């Protein structure tokens, strides 16, 4: 099967600092590709380039055979890319249910006039989105919090809400930026199952995660970044034995110790 | 989602409008009431812009100016009936908002505030200086809309002030109905998503620029119709209708009453239209007291009057 998402020679510099340099990889449908690396290795920067938040300085991003380098995030969403954020991006001014419904924007939105006059067409679209959102909330275990203001949810539950919202787009490619950060062991396992389930339905998943146990358990493929460059790539067993990877992680830890 | 929100708003608003005249000591209060409704209509538009989409404008009185002068100019020059002129005025305001909004809605926060303020002042200057067309600062007459005669022919015979009280009320309630429809609709959700987090809104596929522009255009139409109502009621306009103080008043009413809800903003419009009438008793201290009240409300009730009051009532119930 050909790759759904591929990046080729992707790079970016911020004020002379090479944040990401010459990174390439590809994700196939149903595959979970994890990007790991010490703090500051450029993982989130890489994510932001792929999802159109940053314009890459070099290289290109291909989605489903189409060049989507530096494309606006809303246009990427139309082409089947969806993402979550490391530092939550929740609509704090809405209820939990409304946040999930917002994920259905592309299928729910229609004519402004129909919305202003509350025509049956507008109501039907809204109802379908609401039902879909409710099903997703059930899937992530938030159905009982549906009418709560999103701002009142715990961090772990907001993480799940973000995943529900991302799934609402029915994406072909899903980018998850540390979905288990701040979650307890039980929640992490739930998220774990959910990701595997989504991948099994044929979605290509790109994952950034610090929880190594989770990464080793669910990834089909791992890319290791250090100082913005890809230093290793392969299946979990190969990568975990790679001396360069071990050095990068130990080096980072040693560095942190001397800093302290 | 609160589906009962719309019904609740209308259930509060309509009885208040119907009952208020019972307490009017003189027919002068019908005029005050009509003014509240006209401001109420404009701030309902501001809620769509500020409360839903999270954008600001300090220039919306400019659109009121366009609405008002359309009613004054079109009947004279093109023989268009004043009421139809109000509709054309709204269309012109919408087009202008679209043209102006495209570049300036890229700006955020106080940059957007200054840019819109500039637009409002520009309209005011044109209306003041193009004396050959607008009569300049002295203003100009507006042809009789014929609406009261129409009502008479239908058997509704009212005093002028009463007639405009009811007409402005109907127009405002229609505006509220549309705004409440929008709130829980797909478009309303997209607007509130832009307000909540632009980054996340883009991620779910919202074309942020397009929705900001929609909110700007819709609110401009509300302001334009409000301006037309002023012109049709008074049968006279001056450039003052587009003065930047009105723009600032509308934003103040919206924020003071509670930008998040239409009812709150109308409450704010009612308070800020009534207060100066009440405070005239304090003569020279009127402005001072008004300013003081506004400051105290914003310090102690940052969410606005109505949401804060509602929370206090609910809090006691628990």
Per DSSP, the residues of B10-63 read HHHHHHHHHHGGGG-SSTHHHHHHHHHHHHHHHHHHHIIIIIIT----S-THHH
Whether B193 and A105 lie within 8 Å, measured CB to CB: yes
Nearest chain A alpha carbon to B52: A93
Q: Is the pLDDT of residue A15 over 60?
A: yes
| Alpha carbons B95 and B114: distance in angstroms, whole number | 21
- At A157-177, the pLDDT tens digits run 899 999 999 999 999 999 999
Using alpha carbons only, what angle is made at residue B92 by residues B87 and B98, rounded to the nearest 5 degrees?
130
| Alpha carbons B179 and A220: distance in angstroms, whole number | 50
Q: Which of A113-117, A154-158, B50-54 has the lowest mean pLDDT?
A: A154-158
Specify whether A30 is located in the same domain as A16.
yes
Instruction: Answer with the one of A151, A168, A185 that is the final residue of a domain.
Output: A168
- At B190-205, the pLDDT tens digits run 999 999 999 999 999 9
Residue A204 lies in a domain: yes
Point out the residue among B196, B203, B260 whose CB comes nearest to the CB of A73: B203
Whether A115 and B185 lie within 8 Å, measured CB to CB: yes
Using alpha carbons only, what angle is made at residue B168 by residues B167 and B170, rounded to the nearest 5 degrees?
65
Scanning the structure block, which residue is given the tokens 């999270």?
B54
Residue A85 lies in a domain: no
Q: pLDDT tier at A241 (50, 70, 90 boundaries)?
A: confident
pLDDT value at residue A257? 44
Domain that holds residue A151: 92-168
Specify whether A16 is located in the same domain as A124.
no
Q: Is the pLDDT of residue B301 over 90?
A: no
Specify whether A126 is located in the same domain as A155.
yes
Q: pLDDT tier at B317 (50, 70, 90 boundaries)?
A: very low
Q: Which of B70-79, B162-171, B307-316 has the lowest mean pLDDT?
A: B307-316
Specify whether A147 is located in the same domain as A224.
no
Using alpha carbons only, what angle is made at residue B76 by residues B71 and B117, rounded to the nearest 5 degrees?
40
- At A124-162, the pLDDT tens digits run 999 999 999 999 999 988 999 999 999 999 888 899 999
Instruction: Show the DSSP H helices in chain A as ranges.
Output: 43-50, 73-78, 96-102, 105-108, 112-116, 120-139, 155-168, 185-200, 212-218, 236-241, 243-259
> In total, how many domains does chain A have?
2
| Alpha carbons B175 and B181: distance in angstroms, whole number | 10
pLDDT value at residue A184? 85
Q: Is the pLDDT of residue A258 over 70?
A: no
pLDDT value at residue A1? 57
Specify whether A64 is located in the same domain as A191.
yes
Rounded mean pLDDT, A172-183: 90
Specify whether A159 is located in the same domain as A193.
no
Q: pLDDT tier at A251 (50, 70, 90 boundaries)?
A: low
Instruction: Answer with the one of A168, A192, A211 that is the final residue of a domain.
Output: A168
Residue A87 lies in a domain: no
Point out the residue among A94, A103, A147 whose CB comes nearest to the CB of B192: A94
Per DSSP, the residues of chain B read --TTHHHHHHHHHHHHHHHGGGG-SSTHHHHHHHHHHHHHHHHHHHIIIIIIT----S-THHHHHHHHHHHHHHHHHH---HHHHHHHHHHHHHHHHHHHHHHHTTS-HHHHHHHHHHHHHHHHHHHHH-HHHH-GGG-EE-----HHHHHHHTT----HHHHHHHHHHHHHHHHHHHHHHHHTSHHHHHHHHHHH-HHHHHHTT--HHHHHHHHHHHHHHHHHHHHHHHHHHHTEE-GGGG-HHHHHHHHHHHHHH-TT-HHHHHHHHHHHHHHHHHHGGGGGGHHHHHHHHHHHHHHH-TT-HHHHHHHHHHHHH-
Specify whether A128 is located in the same domain as A200.
no
B181 CB neighbours in chain A (<8 A) are 115-118
pLDDT value at residue B318? 37
Whether B181 and A116 lie within 8 Å, measured CB to CB: yes
Rounded mean pLDDT, B126-148: 91
pLDDT value at residue A253? 54
Percent of chain A with pLDDT over 70: 95
Specify whether A194 is located in the same domain as A258.
yes
Q: Is the pLDDT of residue B116 over 50?
A: yes
Secondary structure of residue A43 in the 3-state scheme: helix
A116 CB neighbours in chain B (<8 A) are 178, 181-182, 185, 187, 218
Whether A116 and B178 lie within 8 Å, measured CB to CB: yes
- At A21-49, the pLDDT tens digits run 999 999 999 999 999 988 888 899 999 99
Residue A4 lies in a domain: yes
Instruction: Answer with the one of A116, A133, A168 that is the final residue of a domain.
Output: A168
- At B228-270, the pLDDT tens digits run 999 999 999 999 999 999 999 999 999 988 878 899 999 999 9
Residue A86 lies in a domain: no
CB pairs under 8 A between A and B: 109
Whether B205 and A169 lie within 8 Å, measured CB to CB: yes
CB of B186 within 8 Å of a chain A CB? The answer is yes
Specify whether A69 is located in the same domain as A184.
yes
pLDDT value at residue B4? 57
Q: Count CB-CB contacts under 10 A for residue A2.
A: 9
Whether A112 and B214 lie within 8 Å, measured CB to CB: yes
Specify whether the CB–CB gap between B253 and B64 falls below 8 A.
no
pLDDT value at residue B1? 40
pLDDT value at residue B295? 86
Percent of chain A with pLDDT over 90: 68
Q: Which residues pair with A36 in a beta bridge?
A: A224
Point out the residue among B178, B192, B202 whose CB comes nearest to the CB of A73: B202
Q: pLDDT tier at B2 (50, 70, 90 boundaries)?
A: very low
Nearest chain B alpha carbon to A88: B200
Burial class (CB in 10 A: 0-12, 13-18, 19+), B182: buried
A130 CB neighbours in chain B (<8 A) are 1
Specify whether A55 is located in the same domain as A139.
no
Point out the residue among B1, B178, B205 whose CB comes nearest to the CB of A74: B205
């Amino acid at each position: 099967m050909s790759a759904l998402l591929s990046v080729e020679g992707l790079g970016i510099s911020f004020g002379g600092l090479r944040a990401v340099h010459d990174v390439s990889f590809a994700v196939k449908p149903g595959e979970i590709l994890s990007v790991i690396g010490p703090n500051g290795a450029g993982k989130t920067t890489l994510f932001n380039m792929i999802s159109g938040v940053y314009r890459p300085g070099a290289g290109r991003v291909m989605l489903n055979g189409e060049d989507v380098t530096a494309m606006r995030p809303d246009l990427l969403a139309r082409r089947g890319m969806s993402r979550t954020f490391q530092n939550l991006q929740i609509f704090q001014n809405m209820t939990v249910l409304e946040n999930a419904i917002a994920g259905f924007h592309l299928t729910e939105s229609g004519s402004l006039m129909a919305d202003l006059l509350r025509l049956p067409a507008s109501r039907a679209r809204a109802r379908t989105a609401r039902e879909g959102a409710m099903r997703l909330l059930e899937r992530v275990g938030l159905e009982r919090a549906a009418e709560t203001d999103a701002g009142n949810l715990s961090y772990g539950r907001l993480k799940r809400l973000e995943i529900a919202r991302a799934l609402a787009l029915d994406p072909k490619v899903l980018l998850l930026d540390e979905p288990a950060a701040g979650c307890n062991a039980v929640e992490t396992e739930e998220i774990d199952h959910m990701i595997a389930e989504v991948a099994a339905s044929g979605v290509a998943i790109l994952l950034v995660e610090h929880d190594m146990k989770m990464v080793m358990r669910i990834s089909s493929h791992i890319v290791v970044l250090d100082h913005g460059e890809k230093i290793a790539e392969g299946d979990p067993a190969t990568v975990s034995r790679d001396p360069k990877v071990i050095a990068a992680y130990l080096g980072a830890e040693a560095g942190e110790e001397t800093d302290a | 989602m609160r589906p009962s929100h719309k019904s609740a708003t209308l259930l509060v608003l309509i009885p208040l409008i119907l009952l208020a005249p019972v307490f009017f000591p003189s027919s002068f209060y019908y005029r005050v009431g009509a003014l509240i409704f006209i401001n109420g209509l404009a701030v309902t538009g501001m809620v769509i812009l500020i409360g839903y989409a999270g954008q600001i404008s300090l220039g919306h009185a400019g659109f009121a100016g366009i609405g008002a002068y359309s009613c004054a100019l079109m009947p004279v020059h093109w023989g268009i009936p004043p009421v139809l002129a109000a509709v054309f005025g709204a269309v012109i305001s919408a087009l202008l908002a679209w043209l102006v909004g495209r570049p300036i809605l890229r700006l955020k926060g106080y940059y957007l505030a200054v840019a819109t303020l500039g637009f409002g002042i520009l309209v005011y200057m044109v209306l003041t200086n193009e004396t050959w067309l607008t009569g300049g600062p002295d203003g100009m007459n507006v042809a009789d809309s014929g609406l009261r005669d129409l009502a008479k022919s239908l058997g509704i015979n009212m005093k002028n002030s009463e007639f405009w009280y009811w007409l402005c009320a109907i127009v405002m309630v229609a505006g509220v109905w549309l705004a409440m429809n929008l709130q829980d609709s797909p478009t309303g959700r997209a607007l509130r998503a832009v307000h909540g987090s632009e980054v996340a809104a883009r991620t779910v596929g919202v074309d942020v620029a397009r929705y900001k522009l929609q909110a700007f255009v819709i609110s401009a139409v509300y302001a334009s119709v409000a301006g037309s109502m002023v012109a049709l009621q008074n049968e006279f306009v001056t450039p003052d209708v587009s003065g930047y103080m009105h723009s600032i008043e509308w934003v103040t009413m919206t924020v003071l009453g509670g930008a998040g809800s239409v009812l709150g903003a109308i409450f704010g419009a009612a308070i800020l239209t009534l207060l100066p009438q009440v405070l005239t008793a304090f003569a020279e201290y009127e402005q001072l007291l008004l300013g003081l009240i506004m400051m105290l409300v914003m310090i102690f009730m940052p969410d606005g009057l109505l949401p804060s009051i509602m929370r206090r009532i609910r809090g006691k119930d628990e």
